[in-house]
Amino acid sequence: MSSHFVFLWVRLAGRRPKPADYGTIPLVWLIAQWPEDEAEPVRYWISNLPADIPARDLVRLAKFRWRIEHDYRELKTCLGLDHFEGRSFTGWHRHVTLVTAAHLFLTEQRRTPKAPARA
């Protein structure tokens, strides 16, 4: 599956956009994915990355959101990020640190090639 991408500079409207220091609404990227077999674009992203960023990097970062959502779901469901019931910031901080360390360990295990099995 291949797609074309459209990159436009736009000013966001609605939801009370925060004006820049000079008083106008800042320009942001509107990225649209348009697959070859579709009549119109099917996915859209908004980005406030700088104007000189390459288009390939814009697409890569926009699509990277899926990986972040997947990791967050794994942190909650498999590693217990949402199981903390304490009352102190210190306890919460320790819990989040341990969950993050466990996630790092699992990620490294996935990335490391497996040793060949003995015959």
The 10s digit of each residue's pLDDT in 49-65 is 998 999 999 999 888 88
Per-residue pLDDT at 44 exceeds 80: yes
83-96: per-residue pLDDT in tens? 888 889 999 999 99
16 has a pLDDT exceeding 80 = no
Residues 6+ apart with CB under 8 A from 27: 9, 10, 11, 51
> CA-based Rg of the chain, rounded to a whole angstrom?
21
Residue 42: phi and psi, rounded to 5, are -115, -20
Q: Say if residue 19 is exposed, middle or buried (CB neighbours under 10 Å; 0-12, 13-18, 19+).
A: exposed
